[in-house]
Homo-oligomer: A and B are copies of this chain.
């Protein structure tokens, strides 16, 4: 999509890259080709993903031995430390999503098709604030999953019931 070709600032560097660079520098770490490529893939589109899916997308590099499975896991952990990704434990594995440059949100989780649907709720923030006060708890964030069946899967279930 060739958008914004005239108006507004042209972003030469992506903000995630800048932030990651700052994080690495602060820790005496280095910006390697692998880290750069992982970051690029991760922020190429907004989506939930797990390590396996990321590895799939990076398969060409894997095949060329330019990148390895442990490096992907190591870098994912660094991206979480850097505040670029949020890590969520799901059944059996961890799922990641953008944390930087993307509004906070929570999820509806379809137990049938495993889809994650995002929603935002200011009420949850208020609730957290109230809980912080009541329990003298220092809140750093929250994870809310509403479990159930999405609209599409409900249709499927209805058909089954009728059959």
| Assembly CA distance A18 to B142 (angstroms) | 36
Stretch of A3-11, A26-34, A54-62, A125-133 on the interface side: A125-133
B151 x A146 contact (CB < 8 A)? no
Contact with B along A78-120 (1 / 0, CB 8 A): 0000000000011110100000000000001011000001010
Residues in B with CB closer than 8 Å to A135 are: 108, 117, 119, 150-151
Residue of B108, B139, B154 near A148 (CB, 8 A) is: B139
| Assembly CA distance A64 to B79 (angstroms) | 47
B124 x A137 contact (CB < 8 A)? no
A141 lies within 8 A of chain B by Cβ: yes
Residue of B92, B131, B143, B148 near A137 (CB, 8 A) is: B148
Residues in B with CB closer than 8 Å to A90 are: 89
Residues in B with CB closer than 8 Å to A121 are: 127
A138 lies within 8 A of chain B by Cβ: yes
| Assembly CA distance A124 to B15 (angstroms) | 34
| Assembly CA distance A132 to B92 (angstroms) | 26
A149 x B127 contact (CB < 8 A)? no
B89 x A108 contact (CB < 8 A)? no
